[in-house]
Amino acid sequence: MKNLLTACCVLALGLMMTVCVNPVHADSSGLTSLLTSRLGVSNSQAEGGAGSILAYAKQKLSADDFSKVTDAMPETDSLIKAAPKTKGDGSLAGKLGGVSSLLSGSEKTSSLASMAGLSDSFSSLGLNADMIGQFTPIILEYAKSKGGDVVMSLLKGALQ
């Protein structure tokens, strides 16, 4: 009986040491986990795709509105940093951006250039442009769970 008690104490002590030395952390991005589980994409694809979409939304929102998003979803900045950088000068987005400046910065042309950049980002992640439409509702759902209707509506307006 004494040996059993000693073994239990040693096991409990070992377990406590493991937890203290290697604390269990929640996933740094619940959004990334949600995207990987629902869409079957890799972690880097989920981070890069979400970051690309959030970067697109950031361009459309005022600084005040975007801060509401980042307050509700603190991982937003790290996801944006994980977004692939699109080609500047030679890409369709870059060409359309140049055309938009010639057309007095037409909002529609500028939006088209931004969408082309978003498509380029997804392509560089090995995802086709159709995946943007699959990522978006999951991101909006996640935004609503973290920041309520206000944050979800801000993102939804920016992404339309």
Residue 110: inside a domain, yes or no? no
User: Distance (Å, rounded) from C-alpha 60 to C-alpha 11?
Assistant: 55
The amino acid at residue 125 is L
Residue 80: inside a domain, yes or no? yes
Residue 109: inside a domain, yes or no? no
Residue 142: inside a domain, yes or no? yes
Q: Are 114 and 123 in contact (CB under 8 A)?
A: no
Q: How confident is the model at residue 100 (pLDDT cuts 50, 70, 90)?
A: very low
Cβ neighbour number for residue 28 with a 10 Å cutoff: 13
Residue 20: inside a domain, yes or no? no
Residue 98: inside a domain, yes or no? no
Average pLDDT, the chain: 77
For 59-102, list the strands marked E by DSSP. Answer: none
The HSE-up count of residue 147 (CA atoms within 13 Å, CB side) is 23
Residue 65: inside a domain, yes or no? yes
pTM greater than the 0.85 cutoff: no
Structural Rg of the chain based on CA atoms: 22
Indicate the number of domains in the chain: 1
Of 138 and 96, the one with more pLDDT: 138
Residue 152: inside a domain, yes or no? yes
Q: Domain span at residue 143?
A: 30-84+125-159
pLDDT score at 10:
42
Query: What does the block give as tokens for 64?
Result: 């005040």
pLDDT score at 46:
97
Phi (first) and psi of residue 70, to 5 degrees: -70, -30
pLDDT score at 70:
96
pLDDT in tens, 24-78: 333 446 999 999 999 999 999 999 999 999 999 999 999 999 999 999 999 999 9
